Chains A and B, each alone.
Chain A
Amino acid sequence: MEPRFEDGRWNTMAINFIYPEYEVIRNYDRCIFCKVCERQCANEVHKYIEEIKENGQINKRFETDDSKCVNCQRCVAFCPTRALKIVKSDNTYKESTNWDSKTMNELYKQANSGGVLLSSMGNPLEYPVYFDKILLNASQVTNPSIDPLREPMETKVFLGAKPSTIERNENGKIIPNLQPHLKLSIPVMFAAMSYGSVSYNVHESLARAAEELGIYYNTGEGGLHEDLYRYGKNTIVQVASGRFGVHKDYLECGAAIEIKMGQGAKPGIGGHLPGAKIVGDVSRTRMIPEGSDAISPAPHHDIYSIEDLRQLVYSLKEATNYKKPVIVKVAAVHNITAIASGIARSGADIIAIDGFRGGTGAAPTRIRDHVGIPIELALASVDQRLRDEGIRNNVGLVVSGSIRSSADVVKAVALGADAVYIGTAALMALGCHLCRNCHTGKCNWGIATQRPELAKRLNPEVGYKRLVNLLTAWEHEIKEMMGGMGINSIESLKGNRLMLRGIGLNNKELEILGIKYAGE
Chain B
Amino acid sequence: MIEGQVRIPSGCAISGIFNKSGQRMSGENIIKSMTVMHDRSNGLGGGFAAYGIYPEYKDFYAFHIFYDSNSSKKECEEFLERHFEIINLSKMPTRKIKEITDEPLIWRYFVTPLPNKLSTSQLDEREYVVRCVFRVNKNINGAFIFSSGKNMGVFKAVGFPEDVGRFYRLEDYEGYCFTAHGRYPTNTPGWWGGAHPFALLDYSVVHNGEISSYDANRRAIEMYGYKCTLQTDTEVITYIIDYLHRKIGLTLKEIASVIAAPFWQTIAQMEPDKKDIHEYLRNVFSAQLITGPFSILVGFDGGLMALNDRLKLRSMVVGEKGDMVYIASEEAAIRIVERDLDNVWSPRGGEPVIVKLNENGIANDGTSL
Contact = CB atoms under 8 A, between A and B. Distances in A.
Contacts of B250: 166
Given A173-B277, A495-B220, A486 B214 contact: no
A134 to B, nearest CB: 14
A96 interface: no
A492 to B, nearest CB: 3
B142 interface: no
B212 A139 contact: yes
B277 A166 contact: no
B210 interface: yes
A315 B11 CA distance: 55
A485 B214 CA distance: 12
Nearest to B216: A496
Interface in A467-504: 485-489, 491-499
A59 interface: no
Contacts of B291: 486-489, 492
A72 B219 CA distance: 46
A458 to B, nearest CB: 35
B190 interface: no
Contacts of A494: 216, 286-287
B292 A166 contact: no
Interface in B43-73: none
B278 to A, nearest CB: 10
A492 B213 contact: yes
Contacts of A172: 367
A341 to B, nearest CB: 14
A137 to B, nearest CB: 9
Interface in B183-227: 186, 209-217, 219-220, 222-224
Contacts of B286: 158, 162, 491, 494
A143 B284 CA distance: 27
Contacts of A181: 283
A486 B292 contact: yes
Contacts of A392: 220, 223
Interface in B286-332: 286-287, 289-293, 311, 313
B186 A495 contact: no
A426 B212 CA distance: 32
B138 to A, nearest CB: 16
* Most A C-beta atoms less than 10 A away, residue of B222, B273, B283: B283
B284 A496 contact: no
B291 to A, nearest CB: 4
A20 interface: no
A143 B292 contact: yes
A36 to B, nearest CB: 49
A156 interface: yes
B216 A493 contact: yes
A390 B211 CA distance: 24
Contacts of B276: 176
A492 B290 contact: yes
Contact of B223 (A151, A174, A387, A497): A387
A176 B212 contact: no
Sorting the interface of chain B by its residue count into under 10, 10 to 19, 20 to 34 or 35 or more gives: 35 or more
Interface residues of A, number: 38
* Most A C-beta atoms less than 10 A away, residue of B216, B264, B273, B289: B216
Given A152-B263, A487-B291, A489-B291, A166 B313 contact: no
A335 B150 CA distance: 48
Interface string B255-275: 000000101110000000100
B289 A144 contact: no
A393 B288 CA distance: 12
Contacts of B273: 173
Contacts of B115: none
Contacts of B93: none
Interface in A144-192: 144, 146, 151-152, 154, 156, 158, 162-163, 165-166, 172-174, 176, 178, 181
Contact of B277 (A142, A158, A174, A498): A174
Contact of B224 (A152, A162, A173, A390): A390
B261 to A, nearest CB: 8
B9 interface: yes
B1 to A, nearest CB: 12
A491 B223 contact: no
Given A144-B293, A491-B287, A498 B7 contact: yes
A392 B223 CA distance: 8
Interface in B221-251: 222-224, 248-250
Contacts of B283: 158, 162, 178, 181
B345 interface: no
Interface in A374-406: 387, 390, 392-393
Contacts of B280: 174, 176, 178
A387 B220 CA distance: 7
B212 A491 contact: no
B254 interface: yes
Contacts of B220: 387, 392, 495
A143 B248 contact: no
Interface string B327-342: 0000000000000000
B216 A492 contact: yes
B30 to A, nearest CB: 26
Nearest to A386: B223
Given A174-B277, A387-B223, A142 B9 contact: yes
Nearest to A155: B264
Contacts of A492: 212-213, 216-217, 289-292
A163 B284 contact: yes
* Most B C-beta atoms less than 10 A away, residue of A165, A173, A492: A492
Given A166-B248, A491-B286, A496 B367 contact: no
B225 to A, nearest CB: 8
Contacts of A498: 7, 214-215
A194 B198 CA distance: 55
Contacts of A485: 212
Contacts of B263: 152, 154
A161 to B, nearest CB: 10
B256 to A, nearest CB: 14
Nearest to A166: B248
Contacts of B209: 143
Given A151-B311, A166-B248, A176-B277, A496 B210 contact: no
Shortest 7 CB-CB contacts between residues of A and residues of B: A492-B213, A491-B286, A486-B212, A498-B215, A496-B216, A492-B291, A176-B280
Interface of B: 7, 9-11, 186, 209-217, 219-220, 222-224, 248-250, 254, 261, 263-265, 273, 276-277, 279-284, 286-287, 289-293, 311, 313, 367
Given A174-B254, A393-B287, A495-B216, 19 more contacts: A142-B10, A142-B210, A143-B292, A143-B293, A162-B286, A163-B284, A166-B248, A166-B284, A173-B277, A174-B277, A174-B281, A181-B283, A487-B212, A492-B212, A492-B290, A493-B213, A495-B219, A498-B214, A498-B215
17 contacts: A139-B212, A139-B292, A143-B209, A144-B313, A152-B263, A158-B283, A166-B284, A176-B277, A181-B283, A390-B223, A487-B212, A489-B289, A491-B289, A492-B212, A496-B216, A498-B7, A499-B215
Interface of A: 139, 142-144, 146, 151-152, 154, 156, 158, 162-163, 165-166, 172-174, 176, 178, 181, 387, 390, 392-393, 485-489, 491-499
